[in-house]
Amino acid sequence: MPIEAFEVIVSQDGQQSEQNAVANAAKYLAYADTTDTVGLEGDVFDVNIYGGDVRSVGQREDGTMEDYGIGLSVAVPIPSAEYRRNFEAELDRLAKVETFERVGYQVME
């Protein structure tokens, strides 16, 4: 079955630690995806953390931290073009998914 990869940016509250933000973003993506593509067969192979760090962005005037954008690079089986359209439509519907894009991925044997 063909494997495709996506980087999915999931928003997370900036008041939590980076580790919790990553865990909560992965949990959200796995459980909110009603196609079960990520939760059952997804392989998260890279994580990028955007925002949230007081050293790089600082606190807002109201004392709160900037929210995180957690970039989860996930490889998933995509058996057909219709399945890809359904999966991408699901990502579009998820409230905490800011953006997503297909990225390069090669299966290592």
Q: How confident is the model at residue 15 (pLDDT cuts 50, 70, 90)?
A: confident
pLDDT digits (tens, 9 = 90+) for 29-83: 999 999 999 999 999 999 999 987 554 445 556 666 789 999 999 999 999 999 9
What pLDDT shows up at residue 65?
Answer: 72
Across 21-56, b (16+ Cβ under 10 Å) vs e yields bbebbbebbbebbeeebbeeebebeebebbbbeeee
What pLDDT shows up at residue 66?
Answer: 84
The stretches of the chain forming alpha helices (DSSP H) are 18-32, 37-41, 81-93
Closest CA to 69 of 87, 84, 90, 48: 48
| Full set of structural domains in the chain with CATH | 3-103 (3.30.70)
